[in-house]
Each structure stands twice: as C-alpha cells, then as structure tokens.
Structure 1
Amino acid sequence: MRQRVNYYKELSADYSKPGLVSNELKAKLIQQSEELITKKEAILPQIGSDYPAEKIEEENKEWWPTHCEALRQGRGDLLTGEYRDDLVYLCQDGHYFGLKEQQERELHWWALIAQPGVTMTWPIVMFHHEHVYFEWKCLDDETNETIAKGNVTFVRRGHRGAVYLKTEQLTFYRDVYAPDELVRLIKI
C-alpha cells in the first residue's frame, strides 16, 4: 500500500485545512503574489535549457501558497493577474477564451468560496513541471458543511509564463450564483 503524503511538506504554507497560516504569513503571501504577477512575460517562454521544466515546477511550488491566500482573501485582481491574456479555461459551464469571457462567472464562484464564514481548503495539490493539479473544498466555519468542492488542473509555465490553461470540475451544494452583497466583497 502506498504511503500517504503531506502535500505541503515542501511548501511555505499549508492550506490543507483551516487555521494553519498565521496572519503575518498571509500578508507576506499577498505581497509575494503581487510581485510574482509582475514577472509574467508578454510571450509564453519556451521550456528548454534556459528555462527547464524543473525550474518551472520549483516556481509553481513557490507560487501555490500565494494563489491559495489570494483566493481566501477574495483578491480577484490577483487571481486574474495569474492568468495569461490568452487563457483557455475548460469547465462544465463551457469553454472560455481570454480574460473576459469567464470573468462574470468566476466572479460569482469567487464570491461564494471566499464569503465570510466559509474557508476554502486544498487538501491535495500535486506538481509535475508546468502542471498543477489540486482538489479543493469550501467548509462552512459554523457547521463544517461542505458548500462547494472541485478539482482543477492549471498549466502554468512558472512565474515567467503564468497560467495559460485551466480545467475545472466544480460542484456547489448551497448556492450557484452569489448574492450582490457577496459579489461586492471581491476585489477586482
């Protein structure tokens, strides 16, 4: 039988369950997220001797906790900044291209999963070169009820390339569209 693993043992923060990240580290990760977005290049860099797959995987591991914290804080501006302008996004609502088509839909999803009284967790995250696979769930802080869950694969070419492909399966149990008061909490 395979040994169970702690998916966060090599990462700067553990987002596998609520309450594991200090306020000081949260602030540092948001600042780091802002810095990483500035490294995105206009042209998707090639994988090769100047930018090997192993370096890209290392950068994706560095980036991952910043992504989690940006989502927990409802920082849609940072989440959008993680995407390339020519993003391909495949999910059960259809396929979206670029940064505009999915914007309205994702705004509602972010509002529901970052709402006050709910904590998003990522119990599983795996990396292989430019591929980042994860499973997530949102827990009601009061009842511990799962309000939404899903799995995602990002194809992210490290800090220089950012996310150019996102595939997602998600299930919402309580709400599908966020009420206006939650949507207003998302910074865009």
Structure 2
Amino acid sequence: MTKRTNYYNDLLGDYSKPELVSNELAVQLLRDGETYLSLRENTLPKITLEYSLEQVERENKHWWATHCEALRQGRGDILAGEYANNLVYFCADGPFYGITAATNREVNRWAILAQPNVTIAWPIIMFNGEVIYSEWNCFDDETNEVIIKGNETLLRRGHRGACYLKCEQLSFYRDVYASDELLYWIRR
C-alpha cells in the first residue's frame, strides 16, 4: 500500500482542516505575513546562486501558513500585498492582468471564503521551487456543507518576488458574489 502523505509535516501551521492552529500562532502568522510584505521588491528578482530556487522554496513554505491565516481572518490588505504588481491571474472569468485587476475580482472571493461561520481548509499543499499547488474547500460551520472548493497553482518567487502567476479553478455551490456586508468586512 502506498504511504500516505502529511502535507504539513514541515510547515509552521496545519491548515488541512479547521481548528488546528492556536490563536497565538494565528496572531504570529499575521505579523509574519506583514513582515514578508515589506520584503517584496517592485521587480521580480532573478534566480541566482545568492537567491536560489532552494531558498525561494523555503521562503514559500514559511509564507504558506501566513497566507492561509490571512485568508481565514479576512485580511484583504495582506492578501493583496502578496501579489507582484504585474500579476497574471488565470481563472474561469479571467484572465486578469496586474494587481489592481486581480484584486478587484478577488475581493468577492475573499469575502465569501472568510465570511463569518465559514472556514476554509487546504488538505493538499505541494511545493517545488517557486511552484505552489493546493487543493482547498470551504465549509459552512453550522451546516457542514461545502460552499466552494477549488485548486490553485501559484508561481511565487519567495518573499522578494511575491506571487506573479496564479491559476485557479473554483466550484461554487452557493454565494458566487459577496454581499455588500461581506465586502465591507473584507475591505475594513
């Protein structure tokens, strides 16, 4: 029988299902996410001996938990800051080019995924250099129904380069567009 993989073995927090991250860790991860934003450069750094793919992958693994917590907490400021200025975002209703176009579309998704009484989890996460692949689902905490699920592939050049390509597939089961109330909450 094939050995099962715990995708979170070497990561700072386990976001494979709800309630695995302590409040103390969540607060620290949000602070770390803010720190990583301050390291982002305006142009994509080159992969060199001094900034290797191995270092990029390590940085991406450290970043992953901060990204998950920012989404769970509805921190649109951190989520938008994770993108490179020239982001390319491919999805069913895209493509979107540039950080402004992408975040204008994504704010609805962030609001739906981070709404009260809903929890997002990423049971599968994989890294290879600057490539990050995840599969995720979002549960209604009261009914246990899955309201949306999907997968995404990100190209992220570590903390200095941010995410410059995002490819996402989403399956909505309800709430395709966020209400004004949810949008206000995510933009706070």
TM-score if structure 2 supplies the norm length? 0.97
Following superposition of structure 1 onto structure 2, how do residues 66-85 of structure 1 map, counting pairs within 5 Å?
Answer: 66-85=66-85
Question: What one-letter code is carried by the residue in structure 1 that aligns with 2:4?
Answer: R
For 2:114, give the aligned amino acid.
A
What is the correspondence of 1:144-163 to structure 2 with a 5 Å cutoff? 144-163=144-163
Cα distance in 2, alignment partners of residues 160 and 15 from structure 1: 24
Name the CA distance, whole Å, in 2 between partners of 1:40 and 1:149: 29
Q: Distance in 2 between matches of 1:52 and 1:102?
A: 28
- 2:100 aligned partner: 100
Aligned-pair Cα RMSD in Å: 0.9
Letter in 1 for 2:55: K
User: What is the CA distance between 1:92 and its match in structure 2?
Assistant: 0.5
Q: Equivalents in 1 of 2:119, 2:70: separation in Å? A: 12
Deviation at 1:131, TM superposition (A): 0.3
Q: Who is 1:58 aligned against?
A: 58
SS at structure 2 position matched to 1:3:
coil
What's the counterpart of residue 181 of structure 1? 181
1:168 matched residue in structure 2? 168
Look up the match of 2:143: 143
Q: Distance in 1 between matches of 2:149 and 2:107?
A: 16
TM-score by length of 1: 0.97
Which structure 2 residue ranges, 5 or more long, are not aligned?
none
Counterpart residue number, 1:3: 3
Query: Structure 1 segments of 4 or more deviating over 6 A?
Result: none
Query: Aligned equivalents of 1:94 and 1:76: distance in 2?
Result: 20
Residue 103 of structure 1: how far off its partner (Å): 2.5
Cα distance between partner residues in 2 of 1:36 and 1:89: 21
- Give, in whole Å, the separation in 2 of the partners of 1:103 and 1:36: 18
Uncovered stretches (5+) of structure 1, i.e. residues with no partner: none
Residue 128 of structure 2 is aligned to residue 131 of structure 1:
no
User: What is the distance in 1 between the residues matched to 2:107 and 2:36?
Assistant: 22
Deviations 1:43-90 (A, max 9, x none): 211112111111100000000000000000011110010000000000
The Cα offsets for residues 147-183 of structure 1, whole Å up to 9 and x where unpaired, read as 0000001100001111000000011101111111111
Shift of 1:100: 1.6
Question: CA separation in 1, counterparts of 2:72 and 2:21?
Answer: 11
Identity %: 57
How many Å separate the matches in 2 of 1:78 and 1:156? Answer: 15
Shift of 1:123: 0.3
**SS at 2:101's partner residue?**
coil
